[in-house]
Structure 1
């Protein structure tokens, strides 16, 4: 449905209205949950701050839906298509059952980012390229260094860069700290390159006059 809507209203005013409404819904939902979480935890610094990549992903998604800027689309594409999807397949935290607010928060927040990627890419026609790849890699590495430093000082574990999560996760297959961080980086670089290459290959074929499959 999102792909159909994006293609049908790509150049129309209604498309912009839908995209910006989508952005507002993401921001209002995420902000409401953040406030609730801070109040419910008595403002626990370990969980109350939006420092996880999943938090940055919804911010990038909302910003891109509103502005259609390529740099924020790059972050939305790579973080949403891989990290948000993996989080839903193998949650790194213990998610309570529905209708608990943490259940709604976890699934809705990650799903909306993935939906935004689908809408922006296959609906509106935005595409990643190797510059987008470089933006996503450099931003993610910078965030990792910042998170590692903040966690060390504050005694937190945002992004699970200082320790593995308590719940089972793919990190359990990557060795102990800090080795799993290196494995994450290598796998991330490879997977992100793989989901960049088809788009750049299509452009190259189109520019050379060769037929391109839809």
Structure 2
């Protein structure tokens, strides 16, 4: 068994098994540490910069090794390996957010990134690559780090989102999806963002009807999810959970 192989047998992924649950435990622990030490990090610009640039380097390294995994195993293809899925584009927006600390990039990563990452962590499309296969680590690390990056900017840099941010990001996401749809149309067998057909494994897409109707349902659902996220953010802000003394 090779932990870097694409086709050789690997330990099966078990939904909500010990390894899957451990991912949530580590993610929660890291987010709590950031929240607890936010003032100490904020008061030390060198520590802040090191953390942000370290996350950026980790994102880039994970993607580089991921692409190398496809190439080494002789399976790389433009129809599935380009970083065009929502989870891929949001790690890219997270990188830009961490480098620039820009408000718009934070809004996009907050709504599109955290929303999709949480859903993906709960219902992962990781195939049969279970712990300790490379794909297991790559998949869960990339999605979890998007959440970590947003939590970091929220607590350490005291970023905010607004009601108008919800609709702005929703429009951005739909424009991006339209561009990805064109890529899918011209690249044979491409199905980025699952705009041409549903994921092969069970997923929330199955709740929303056949193609193409589920696409329109997802547009409405994404807006509702963004509004719920904004509501939760406002409640936490009101309670003082995201503010520093």
| Runs of 4+ that moved beyond 3 A | 197-203
Q: Alignment partner of 1:195: what SS? A: helix
Determine whether 1:183 maps to 2:210: no
Pick which of 24-33 and 34-43 moved more. 34-43
Please say if residues 97 and 105 of structure 2, whose CA atoms lie closer than 8 Å, have aligned partners that are also in contact: yes
CA offsets 1:24-60 (integer angstroms, 9 cap, x no match): 2222222222233244344311222111111111111
Matches of 2:152 and 2:138, distance apart in 1: 21
Q: Alignment partner of 1:9: what SS? A: helix
Matches of 1:22 and 1:5, distance apart in 2: 17
Determine whether 1:213 maps to 2:239: yes
TM-score, normalized by length of structure 1? 0.87
Measure how far apart 1:16 and its partner are: 2.4
1:170 matched to which residue of 2? Answer: 204
Q: How many residues align?
A: 206
2:59 matched to which residue of 1? Answer: 26
Which consecutive residues of structure 1, in runs of 5 or more, have no partner in the other structure?
A: 204-211
Measure how far apart 1:157 and its partner are: 0.3
Matches of 2:112 and 2:62, distance apart in 1: 19
Determine whether 1:129 maps to 2:129: no
Measure how far apart 1:74 and its partner are: 1.0
Q: Alignment partner of 1:138: what SS? A: helix
Measure how far apart 1:166 and its partner are: 0.6
1:105 matched to which residue of 2? Answer: 138
Determine whether 1:9 maps to 2:41: yes
Please say if residues 90 and 169 of structure 1, whose CA atoms lie closer than 8 Å, have aligned partners that are also in contact: yes
TM-score, normalized by length of structure 2? 0.77
CA offsets 1:114-133 (integer angstroms, 9 cap, x no match): 11121111333111113432
